[in-house]
Each structure stands twice: as C-alpha cells, then as structure tokens.
Structure 1
Amino acid sequence: MTTIDVRSADGTRLTVRREGTGDPIVLLHGSGGGLHSWDPLIAHLADSYELWIPARRGYAPSDLPPGRKSFQQEVADVTAVLVAVARPAHLVGASYGATLALHTAAAPLSPAGPATPPALRTLTVFEPPLFASGPRIAPLLDRYRDCFDRDDHAGMFAVLNEVTQVPRRIAAAFGPPTRNPAAELGWLHDLEALADDSPAFVANPAIPTLILQGADTWDPMPATIDALAAALPHARRVSWPGQSHFAPSLAPELMATALRDFFADGGSAQQGQGL
C-alpha cells in the first residue's frame, strides 16, 4: 500500500491510498468511512486492478472543508484524483460515495489545475441515498450540528438514523454505536452537502453504468433505485438476495464478481441477479 497527496482545485489536500496493479478503479467511500472503508473489497480486486481510494474532504487524513461543504467541491476533488490517475478509470461509489459518483459523471469534463481528467470508462453505484437530500435534510443538519457542538453522541446517532431511515429493529441489532470523533465530524460535513443538494440532478446516460443493490435494503431505498434505473434505462442492474446496505462490507465477493463481469463485458447493459 502507498499513499499520496492530491490537491483539489481550491487547494484542499486529499490523501489517496493506492493498491494493486492493472486498470485503475477509483473507489469513493460512504459517510463515516475513510481510507480503509474498502478493505474487504480490496482483498478481492488488488490482484487485477490498480485501486485508488481517496479519503474524502472532511475525513482524516485529508483536509477539512474550508467552509460549508458542497457536492461541487467534492466533484472537483474526484476530478483531481482522476487527473492523478492519468488514465481512463472506472469510478465506483457506495452510499454517499455513490451519490458523489453520479454527480461526478454528470458534471461537464473540466480541467483540474493545468490538466483535464481522462474520460471515465464506467460508473458503478451501490445504493446512493438520493432520498436523503434537499430541504428534508436541513433541519436534521441543524439538529446534528447542535448535538455535535454539545458532544451528544447518542443525539448524533439518533439524527443519522432519521437521515438514513434505518428501521429501529436493525439499528437495535447493532447495539450502542462506538465513538468515532473523526466519523462524526465527517458526517457533519456530508450533511451540509446533502442539505444543499437536489434529488433530481441529471445522470449521465453516455457512461456505461452498473447499479448495485441489496434486495433486503429497507425503504425507501428500493423505490430510489427503481427511479435511478428508470433514469438510466441502459444501465446494468444487479440485486443480491439476502443482502442489504451493508453488502460491500459483509459480502465483498459479490461486489467484486459484479465489477469484474461488468468490466469484462465492456459495460454492457445485461441485467442480472446476484449470485
């Protein structure tokens, strides 16, 4: 494993982990994640691909946002990473990282500093929480910020459950959450971007796209993925029976197989169920 620093357009320093050799894949982690979020998947892919894993702005050891964070800033961050890769790459995102990947794919290709990033080869998104954006999130952001300022860990956790709409029975099954100050800070900045986002942003049908989901993920994610698939009718869609929003960590072999098959087929739109 090696790490490098990449500078975004506004000077924000991003720490990027690099693993493996082969065609490049840029992996965007979800909220509360970081450089090691993709460890389960890396074990299945590093033998065939060069994996680039940035810690998104707001997540150590990358810099904090200089002010209120936005998806526009984070698209610039991903663009800077793609410039550093210097070859056409596959872009993969999970959860919040999938929403960011969709934004990146839909944004006009623009220079990051003196260089223009190579075009994306493919786009893969696992369960982007498109329902968790816009005006509904604004009061939740305010409540979370208040809990954060008071170091009210239980209060922050309760707000996040409202954002993600995790059923109480599932949240209870995990027991009391472990304190992670870095993740709590990262969530604060992610909520800022989500509150200012629109759930109706435009996807890019020109990029071969793979949509992944767990068949057992709770509402409203199934309807969200249905709407995304309708907006991208040529995308390939894979649903894994018995899996939920935690599939990238709990069943990384399924995700690795789906990615390998998709890349091998050149991003064709064949539909399928998880194996």
Structure 2
Amino acid sequence: MSSVIEMSESFASFESFESFDGTAISWQQLGSGPPVVMVHGSGGGLHSWQPVAERLADRFELWTPARRGYAPSGAGRSPKCFTDEVGDLRTLIDKIGCPVHLVGMSYGATVALHAAAAGLPVRSLVLWEPPLYAAGEKLTPVLAEFEDLTAHGDRRRADRLLAEKVARVPAKLLDLMDAVGADDDDPSDAPGWCRDLESMAADSVGVERWSAVTVPTLLMRGADTWEPMPATLDRLATALPHVTYVTFPGQMHFAPSLVPEDVAAEITRFLPRS
C-alpha cells in the first residue's frame, strides 16, 4: 500500500516544456525502464492514466502529458488539428531523447495513430478504443452547439450532446446516466473538448490509411462497448499490418478507469522490458 501512496504523491507535481509553436505542455514522469508516453482522451488530463500507470511504474518510465487545451497545459491555437498534437509529441520525444512506446486512450489513441503515421520515433503502439468513426464535417455543428451550451453554463446538456453525437452512446444508457444524476464535469475541460472537436471535424473516417502504421500495435476494446466502435475497430485490426487485438469481457469504453489492473497487465504482456 505504501508504494502506491508514494506513486500517487509523485503525480501531485508537474513540469512543462515549450512546444513547437510556443504552447506550454505540462507533463509528469513516473517509474524507470523503457520510456512509455501515455496520451489521454477527451475530457482527460494529467491524471487520466494514473490508475494504469501506477501498475506499470516498476517496469517502465512513464511520461503523461496534458494535451494542449487541458490545464495546466496551454490552450494552443484554434482551430486545432491532429498535426498540432503530433508536433507536441515530437517535441516531448525529442526531450526524452530516444524512441518510445506510445499508449493512447480514446481520442488519445487517434493521436497515437497520427503520430506513428507521421514517422515519429515510436517503437510500438498501445491503443484503447480510438473513436475513428467520430470525424468529418458532421461534427462542425456539434462543436458550435457545444460552445454555445458551455458559454451559457449548461454543462449537463453539453455533456449529453457529446455522449449522443460524438461517442454515440445508446439512448437507453444515456437515459440511465441522466437518471443517476451524476455531477457535472469540471467546466475547465470545455476548451480542451472544443479543440478536440476541431481536430476530429478536420479529420476523415478512413480506416485503411492506417495500414501505413507498421510498428507492433496492441489494440484493445471492451466487449460491451456500443456500436459503431466495435465494427470500426474490427476494420482497424484488419488494416494494421502487425496487430494484437484484445477484447475485455464485461467492459465498455471506461475500462482503463474501472479495471486498471487488467489493462496494465495486458500492456505489460505486450511491451518488451528492454
């Protein structure tokens, strides 16, 4: 227990670097071993990967940046595109000084794919449910509505909009979430969500393009995650030349937070220790 407490305390502080366009990117580092960069998803931040990272720190040197738009990192320019995210990762990897294993969660997994396709020095990829179906001009009106709702302080409706139009959560599950009456998300992540929607709106839904990613890749998903995620990931698994495809029984999109020990174990099995 004491070792977990010590590792949790190490996440309390952070450092920052200046990215390619002057945007300040904050990061935390934990553990020792081969370097692993862990990229969080939309609505996340420095602590998104913490439950998993704490279970990997005895084997790997873990770097967990807060992506641009998410405090304490800077907002960055608008509109954002995936090229900006790749530039931030390039700057971080240059700082680390050697090729890294790149781990991405949700939107962060899409960032990881773009980074590998752009030729960054990546030894392998670990991807948790990249939402590749959520892309294109159809998201532009979603962005406009989200900005309007958050500007008027209506975060509950804004979150429902994201769940329905971006994540495509089934209506029954959306109604259950409303019935539970969970607390509103921290409104400070609204700028990050806006920038992420900009990137997705400027991207395409084509999956075959990822056949150019030739590094070993671990692709993970929950068995109970709703469509169109499973069908999209099945196509991605077919497109990737060197893929290990793992499904977690009884889990949905939130497994890295709900069963971090299982996710960490799968990552440990996949990544080399040297």
Shared topology, TM-score over 0.5? yes
Query: Which secondary structure state, in structure 2, belongs to the residue aligned with residue 191 of structure 1?
Result: helix
1:24 and 1:264 map into 2 onto residues whose CA distance is 11
Q: Which residue of 2 aligns with 1:114?
A: none
Taking only aligned residues, the RMSD between alpha carbons, in angstroms, comes to 1.6
Offset at residue 265 of structure 1 (A)? 9.0
Q: Which residue of 1 aligns with 2:88?
A: 77
Contact 2:67/2:73 (8 A) holds in 1: yes
Query: Which secondary structure state, in structure 1, belongs to the residue aligned with residue 130 of structure 2?
Result: coil
1:90 and 1:4 map into 2 onto residues whose CA distance is 21
Identity %: 45
2:150 and 2:249 map into 1 onto residues whose CA distance is 37
Which residue type is aligned with residue 74 of structure 2? Answer: D
2:22 and 2:202 map into 1 onto residues whose CA distance is 22
2:47 and 2:242 map into 1 onto residues whose CA distance is 32
Offset at residue 66 of structure 1 (A)? 2.5
Q: Which residue of 1 aligns with 2:174?
A: 171
Query: Which secondary structure state, in structure 1, belongs to the residue aligned with residue 61 of structure 2?
Result: strand
Query: Which secondary structure state, in structure 1, belongs to the residue aligned with residue 215 of structure 2?
Result: coil
Kindly tell me: are residues 179 and 6 of structure 1, through their superposed partners in 2, closer, same or farther at Cα, counting changes over 3 Å? same
2:242 and 2:122 map into 1 onto residues whose CA distance is 17
Tell which deviates more after alignment, 207-216 or 196-205.
196-205
Offset at residue 213 of structure 1 (A)? 0.6
Offset at residue 258 of structure 1 (A)? 1.1
Offset at residue 264 of structure 1 (A)? 3.5
- Are 1:253 and 2:261 counterparts? yes
Offset at residue 125 of structure 1 (A)? 0.7
- Are 1:212 and 2:220 counterparts? yes
Query: After the TM superposition, which residues 1-275 of structure 1 pair with which residues of structure 2 at under 5 Å, given as runs?
Result: 1=10, 3-109=14-120, 119-161=121-163, 162-174=165-177, 175-176=180-181, 177-200=183-206, 202-203=209-210, 204-264=212-272
Which residue type is aligned with residue 234 of structure 1? Answer: H
Q: Which runs of 5+ in 2 are unaligned?
A: 1-9
Offset at residue 14 of structure 1 (A)? 0.2
1:12 and 1:188 map into 2 onto residues whose CA distance is 17
Q: Per-residue CA shift, 1:29-84, capped at 9, x if unaligned?
A: 00000001111102211111111000000000000022211111111011111111
Offset at residue 234 of structure 1 (A)? 2.5
TM-score (norm 1): 0.89
Which residue type is aligned with residue 48 of structure 1? Answer: R
Which residue type is aligned with residue 169 of structure 1? Answer: K
1:146 and 1:217 map into 2 onto residues whose CA distance is 29
Offset at residue 189 of structure 1 (A)? 1.3
Kindly tell me: are residues 39 and 173 of structure 1, through their superposed partners in 2, closer, same or farther at Cα, counting changes over 3 Å? farther
Offset at residue 191 of structure 1 (A)? 0.7
Query: Which secondary structure state, in structure 2, belongs to the residue aligned with residue 53 of structure 1?
Result: strand
2:124 and 2:221 map into 1 onto residues whose CA distance is 17
Which residue type is aligned with residue 203 of structure 2? Answer: D
Which residue type is aligned with residue 220 of structure 1? Answer: P
Q: Which residue of 1 aligns with 2:7?
A: none
Higher helix fraction (1 or 2) = 2
Offset at residue 261 of structure 1 (A)? 1.0
Query: Which secondary structure state, in structure 1, belongs to the residue aligned with residue 230 of structure 2?
Result: helix
